[in-house]
Structures are given as C-alpha cells and as structure tokens.
C-alpha cells in the first residue's frame, strides 16, 4: 500500500515506525529506509536509517534470493 506524507512524498510503511521512500538528495536519487518518531500527525525522520543509491538498490534487489536463503 502506497501512502503519502504531508509534503506529498509517497512511501511504503514497513511497520514499527519504519518507511521506505524514493527521494532526491543533492542531485541524486536514493531509496531511503528510515525510522520515524513522533505522533501520527507529526512524524519526523530519525537518524536511524540508510539511503541506497540506484546502483546499491539494484544490487540489493538482485540479491534477494540469496538473502532469503539466510533465513
């Protein structure tokens, strides 16, 4: 399910206050997986998170079967 924040950014809720968003930063586009804090109406991004470049995202996607096998 795709949700939208108050700034119009689309994101996927990953549960436990974590979100995945695709957003530009300093001229590049990143997949941002981050923990949020605050009330539902005023959630703000925390420092806990990771931003993946398009190349890193592609590498992660191509490694899904291998990562699944670790479980």
Burial readout 19-40 (b: 16 or more C-beta within 10 A, e: otherwise): bebeeeeeeeebbbbbebeeee
Which pLDDT score, from 0 to 100, does residue 35 have?
A: 95
Give 4-15 pLDDT, tens digit per residue: 988 889 999 999
Higher model confidence: residue 7 or residue 71?
A: 71
| Per-residue pLDDT reduced to its tens digit, 21-58 | 999 999 999 999 999 998 767 888 888 899 999 999 99
- What DSSP letter does each residue of 9-63 carry, written as one string? -EEEEEETTEEEEEEEETTEEEEEEEEEES-GGG-EEEEEEEEEEHHHHHHHHHT
Q: pTM above 0.85?
A: no
């Amino acid at each position: 399910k795709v949700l939208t924040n108050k700034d119009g950014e689309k994101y996927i809720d990953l549960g436990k206050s974590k979100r995945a968003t695709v957003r530009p930063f300093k001229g590049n586009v990143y997949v941002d997986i981050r923990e949020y804090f605050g009330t539902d109406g005023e959630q703000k991004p925390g420092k806990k998170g990771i931003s993946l470049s398009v190349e890193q995202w592609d590498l992660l996607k191509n490694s899904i079967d291998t990562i699944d096998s670790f479980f």
